[in-house]
Amino acid sequence: MARLLLGVSGGIAAYKALETTRLAVRHGHAVRVIQTEASIRFVGTASFEAITGAQVLTSEFEPDPLRGSYPGEPLPERSPISHLALVERADVYLIAPASANTIAKLTGGHADNLLTAAALAAPCPVAVAPAMNERMYVHPATQANLEALKARGVTIVPPGEGELASHGEHGVGRLPDPAELLAVTEALLAARRGSWAGLRVLVTAGGTREPIDSVRYMGNRSSGRMGFALASEAAMRGAAVTLVAANTGLAPPPGTRVIEVGTAAELAQACDEEFDVCDVLLMAAAVADFRPASPAHDKLKKEAGVPAPIELEPTEDVLSGLGARKRSDQILVGFAAEHGEGAVSYGLEKLERKHLDVLVVNDISKPGVGFDSDENEVTIVSADGTQRSVPRAGKDLIARAVLDDVERLRAERGTDDRGEGSDGASGAGTRSAARV
Ligand code: CTP
C-alpha cells in the first residue's frame, strides 16, 4: 500500500482520473485528490470523495478533516500548519490530466493553487500526464515546458493518439488509460522502494534499562517508535536492516532483523558486532549514561529499610566509540535530545565530538514531541554544514527526512557505489525529489 496524491487539472480527460483513482484504491493504495477549480467543472469533488473516502482539496484555505493524513491512517493529533502536509506524506504525486496551463505553471514554479503549490513542495517522485488538444500539445511552448520538467526529474507520461474531445478531431493529446497511469505510478514506487537496495543499515531503538536489583531498574521514557520508524523506512527503501531494540515491546517492522537487548552494555556489544558490516548507522536509542555500580542480585527487601544511596558508574558512550573507528564510507547518524534555545548549537558540538555525519536534534522543552510521543519536530544538522528544520510531524515522516539527508550525503560523497549487491534499481538519486 502506498500514499498516492493525485492532482487533477481542468480538461475533459478529468473523467479518466476518476477511473485511475478507482483502480489505485482497488490495488490497495490510499489516495488523496487535489483538484483545480477548473477541473471541478468537468468532474465534481463528490465523485472522487466517494471513491477515496477522503475530502478533495482545492485550496490552501479549506479545512482538511483528515489533517493531512491518508485514508486508513490514524488521525494526527492536530491539524498540520499547511496543506502541504498532503504532499509531504505522499509516496508519489501524479498530476493527471495536466492541462497546458498547469504544465506552464509547473515549469514556471508558480504556486497559485494547491495543485501547483504541492508540486513545488513535493519531496516525492512526481509524474505529469499531459492531456490537451493536439495543436496545444505540439506547440513549442508546451514541448519546451515538458522538456524542462523532464530535465528536473519529473516523469512525463506521454499522451496517446486517437480521437480528441473536440468534435471530429484526431491526433496526439489523449490522456493515457487509467491502467497505464497506474502502471507508471507503481513503477515510480518500485524505484523508490529499491533505492537503498544493497545497503546495510544498523538501527538502534528504545531505551536501555540498568538494573538496581533483580526487579528494579533505572530507565528512560524512550518508546522506540523513532528507531522503529527509521528501520521501517530503510527496509521499505530496500536496505538490509538490523534493528537493535532495547525494551520497546513494539512489533518488529516487516523485513528487518531484530536483536533484543536490555542494558547499555548489551546494546554496546550488539553494535560492536554489527557495526563493521553496516553502511549506515542510525543511533536512535536512548542509552543510559550511568548505571548502578553494584546492582543487587536479589530483590531489595522493604524490611531492610531504605537502601544505601545507589552508587553510579558511567556506561560506555557507544556512539563515540563507533565514531572513532568508522570508515570514511560509513555514515553515522546520532540523535540528541536537547533542552531549549541552545539545542542546535549543543547538537553541533556533539556532532563533532562524536565524529558524526548527521545529528538529529530535538528540543525536548517543546510539549508533545519527542519522547514517548507519536510526533517529533527536529533539526537535522549535517557535517557538511547544512541544517534542515523538519516541522512537527509523525515519526514516519521524520524518518523519511532523516533518510533523505543520508541519501543526499552519500550521493555528494560518491559513496553510493553499490552495484553488485543491488537489485538493479538505480542509486541514491532515485528516491530524491523530482524538482518540479
Ligand atoms: N549515546 C550512546 N551511548 C551513550 C549515550 C548516548 O551511544 N552512553 C548516543 C545516543 O544513542 C545518541 C547520541 O549518543 O544517538 C546522543 O546522545 P546524548 O544522550 O544526547 O549524548 P550525550 O553525549 O550523553 O550528551 P548529554 O550529556 O547531553 O546527555
| Dist. CA 370–CA 391, nearest whole Å | 12
Under 8 Å between Cβ of 66 and 54: yes
Nearest atom in ligand 1 to the alpha carbon of residue 314 is: 8
Contact 106, 436 (CB under 8 A): yes
Across the range 400-417, mean pLDDT stands at 88
423 vs 300, higher pLDDT: 300
| pLDDT digits 0-9 by tens, 136-150 | 999 999 999 999 999
| C-alpha 317 to ligand 1 mean position (Å) | 7
User: CA neighbours within 13 Å on the CB side: how many for 433?
Assistant: 19
Q: What's the first-to-final CA gap in the chain, in angstroms?
A: 25
Please tell me the distance between residue 287's alpha carbon and the centre of ligand 1 in angstroms: 6
Residue nearest to atom 28 of ligand 1 (CA): 338
Q: Residues 6 or more apart from 228 whose CB is under 8 A from it?
A: 205, 243, 245, 248, 250, 253
Overall average pLDDT of the 4-26 stretch: 96
Q: What is the b/e burial string over 122-145, where b = at least 16 CB atoms within 10 angstroms of the residue's CB?
A: bbbbbbbbbbbbbebbeeeebeeb
| pLDDT at residue 77 is higher than 80 | no
Instruction: Give me the active site residues, please.
Output: 220
Helix, strand or coil, per DSSP, at residue 237:
coil
User: Does the pLDDT at position 421 exceed 80?
Assistant: no
Closest CA to ligand 1's atom 4: 317
Contact 134, 169 (CB under 8 A): yes
* Average pLDDT of the residues of the chain: 91
Atom number in ligand 1 closest to CA 353: 23
Question: Out of 96-105, 338-347, 375-384, which region has the weakest mean confidence (pLDDT)?
Answer: 338-347
Quickly state the pLDDT bin for 208 (edges 50, 70, 90): very high
Are the C-beta atoms of 377 and 369 separated by less than 8 Å?
yes
**pTM across the whole model:** 0.81
Residue-level pLDDT at 187: 95
Predicted pLDDT at 416: 66
The whole-number pLDDT of residue 40 equals 97
Between these two residues, 375 and 261, which has the higher pLDDT value?
A: 261
DSSP state of 9: -
- The β-bridge relationship of strands 200-206 and 240-246 is parallel
Q: Which residues on neighbouring strands pair with residue 385, listed in sequence order? A: none
**Rounded distance between C-alpha atoms, residue 234 and residue 255, angstroms:** 10
- pLDDT tens-place string over residues 279-335: 999 999 999 999 999 999 999 999 999 989 999 999 999 999 999 999 999 999 999
The residues near 305 (Cβ < 8 Å, ≥ 6 apart) are none
The mean per-residue pLDDT over the stretch 152-171 comes to: 84
C-alpha 59 – ligand 1 centre gap (Å): 44
For residue range 96-107, what is the model confidence (pLDDT) as tens digits?
999 999 999 999
* Ligand 1 cavity residues, CB under 6 Å: 264, 283, 285, 287, 289, 315, 317-319, 334-337
Q: Which residues pair with 128 in a beta bridge?
A: 95, 156
- Residue 325's pLDDT is what? 96
| Averaged pLDDT for residues 7-30 | 96
Q: Which of 73-82, 308-317, 389-398 is predicted least confidently?
A: 73-82
Domains of the chain: 3-193 (3.40.50.1950), 198-417 (3.40.50.10300)
